[in-house]
Amino acid sequence: MKIIVTLILLPIHIPHLIAFLFSNKQNIIIKDLERFLRKSSWKLFDFLYYLTFVDEFRALFYFRIGRIKYIIKWFHPEFLNLYFFTPEIGEGLIIQHGFSTVIAAKSIGKNCWINQQVTIGYTNEKDCPVIGDNVTINAGVIIIGNITVGDNVIIGAGTVVTKSIPSNCTVVGNPARIIKWNEKRTNELL
């Protein structure tokens, strides 16, 4: 059934395809799609299918293509519970169940994974986090303030992060504590 609906909606996606073809972020969008697909090859049908049925991918696509989204989102509305306020997001971002998620960081690195009900944001008008590469942010996480989350970090569900996290660790809890660092178990407060 989804195949039929995707094909029926093809005329609606012609503006999306044109925006994609003329975008200077084509390679980044492809890397995002490959992360959603969990494979390194894609077809035009995959792109159309994800635009049609995966709200989080469509919202990320609209973020990537810039201002043209204000024209083409009338053809297929964006996901209304997922907000991007980050000027620079690396390729390969995947947002799983992006419901009630706000992403407001200075920057986010490559190949990050963000789950639902996550808040990444400010403590005042200018202090917001920097997120490194290969970071997994699980459900209900709050990351706020002028802090840095290092590369290869896993942040457990419901964790509240108000202090910088070094690279290569797993963090859980409120207050946040490191439970694994460089493949060794530990129990240290941030």
C-alpha 168/C-alpha 182 separation (Å) is 5
Q: Which of 72, 105, 133 is the last residue of a domain?
A: 72
Assess if residue 162 is contained within a domain: yes
At 62, the amino acid letter reads: Y
Cβ burial, residue 183 (10 Å; 0-12/13-18/19+): exposed
pLDDT at 111 > cutoff 90: yes
User: Which domain range does residue 9 map to?
Assistant: 2-72
Q: Report DSSP state, residue 39.
A: S
Identify the CA nearest to 59 among candidates 93, 88, 31. Answer: 93
Assess if residue 172 is contained within a domain: yes
For residues 88 and 30, membership in a common domain is answered with no
pLDDT at 49 > cutoff 80: yes
Mean pLDDT of the chain: 92
Q: What is the CATH number of the domain that holds 151?
A: 2.160.10.10
Assess if residue 190 is contained within a domain: no
For residues 175 and 86, membership in a common domain is answered with yes
Is this model's pTM higher than 0.85 or not? yes
Question: Do 165 and 171 touch, CB atoms closer than 8 A?
Answer: yes
For residues 66 and 95, membership in a common domain is answered with no
Question: Do 13 and 51 touch, CB atoms closer than 8 A?
Answer: yes
